[in-house]
Amino acid sequence: MVGSQLLMDTYYPKFITEADAAALTKVKIPDSDAKRIFLSHGLKILKGDYVDQADLDLVFDIQYYNPFNFRKGFGGYVYYAPIKSDAFLALVPNLNSLYLDDQNFTELDFSANTNLVYLEIANCHFLTSLDISMLNLGSFGLAKQKSERARRSKSGYPIELYITNNTQLASVNIGNQPSLAAVDISGNYYLTSLDVTGLAYAYDLYLDDNSLTSISMNSNNYYYTLDLSRNKFASLSFSKLTNLYYLYIQENSQMTSVTLDSLPNLSYMYASDNTNLSTVDFSSFANTNLYYLDLNYANLTSIDLSNFPNLSYLYLDENDIQPSIDLSLLGPFYAVSLNNNPSLATVYYNSAYQNSGNISFGSSVTLIDLNVIGKQ
């Protein structure tokens, strides 16, 4: 009767025979953190803290964060305990999507997780370094299943790598990731440098709210959005990013210069609140598509706008433009704002577009002369 004796697994009231139990490929659960994750994802925990390998092979998605959980008898809510161990990763080789939020990891080893497409690591404040170079993340150009969690970037592609708000994270090794179309590595206060040369086909790159002072980039014909705002760059130079449409570099308070070259499709440039920015070099930047330029709250004394005939929105508040600014080569504009440039004496613009938009000088500006020049 041994073969027909009924047994019950430990955590789920499912009866199995000894013969069925013997046929299982049982894997020892390495620690209580792994056990907690497996339980929260519906795996059957067998006696002695084992789990069936067949069940592990069917784990494609793990989401583990610290939700509020009702605690009976206390009339309140408590957090699930955050986990510290990453040992569970070695047991789930077919993992496709991983989201870990507000945990206490000090390291994460992804060497057994080469099937990962989507990775999100957020608010893990004990994590100091992260190596994902052994992975091939992303579904772009591949017959991979896109993660249901992935949000869309400005160009419409799924963002399949998030490394956000990990306040102690100082090092990220991205490696070669040709299948990632959109990436968000932001809010990591101790991250001062980053190499993104392995993102050869990325369209959208969000690197805001770090402490970056340097970045290694290839000339990329695919970048559509590049966000480097709220970092600590002293200078930035952009060249041969032929598809770039949105550029965000605002609030780099230590930045003194920006150089732009061969960005033929750049249409929106946000560069406000760079209070030490004294040089923006457009001399090699002939661009008929630039439409919106925000350089408010900088330290500019002059700017050459002659290469931008389609510029329609120009913001230069709180600079020190002097003694004049020439807008005569601009086409029809919607808004030009020059508030609080105390030394600005003369503004030139094309009389053909005299009534096409709004020019705001601000009450604190004393205009000695307003000249209108240009062909009718």
Is pLDDT of 160 > 90? yes
Average pLDDT, rounded, for the chain? 85
Q: What is the pLDDT of residues 127-155, one digit of tens each?
A: 999 999 999 999 775 544 555 566 788 88
Residue 328: predicted pLDDT? 83
- Least confident interval from 199-203, 207-211, 350-354: 350-354
Give the span between the Cα atoms of 45 and 43, in whole angstroms: 6
- Using DSSP's 3-state secondary structure scheme, residue 89 falls into helix
Residue 180: predicted pLDDT? 95
Is pLDDT of 61 > 80? yes
Q: Which of 337, 344, 343, 340 is nearest to 360 (CA)?
A: 337
Give the span between the Cα atoms of 31 and 296, in whole angstroms: 54
Contacts 24+ apart (CB under 8 A), 134-139: 134/110, 134/175, 135/110, 135/175, 135/177, 136/177, 136/178, 136/179, 137/161, 137/177, 137/179, 137/180, 138/177, 138/178, 138/179, 138/180, 138/181, 139/179
Q: What is the pLDDT of residues 161-197, one digit of tens each?
A: 999 999 999 999 999 999 999 999 999 999 999 999 9
Is pLDDT of 78 > 70? no
Residue 363: predicted pLDDT? 46
Give, as one character, the DSSP assignment of residue 152: B
Identify whether the C-beta of residue 57 lies closer than 8 Å to the C-beta of residue 77: no
Give, as one character, the DSSP assignment of residue 158: B
Identify whether the C-beta of residue 98 lies closer than 8 Å to the C-beta of residue 76: no
CB atoms closer than 10 angstroms to residue 19: 11
Q: Which of 343, 338, 332, 349 is nearest to 366 (CA)?
A: 343
Is pLDDT of 7 > 90? no
Token pair 């508040």: residue: 317
Chain-centre distance of CA 324, in angstroms? 39
Tokens, residue 38: 């497996």
Is pLDDT of 262 > 70? yes
Sign of the C-alpha dihedral computed for residues 364, 367, 371 and 374 taken in this order: negative
Residue 2: predicted pLDDT? 39
- Least confident interval from 98-102, 124-128, 309-313: 309-313
Give the span between the Cα atoms of 226 and 214, in whole angstroms: 15
CA trace torsion 261, 265, 266, 267 (10° rounding): 150
Q: What is the pLDDT of residues 21-42, one digit of tens each?
A: 666 889 999 999 999 999 989 9
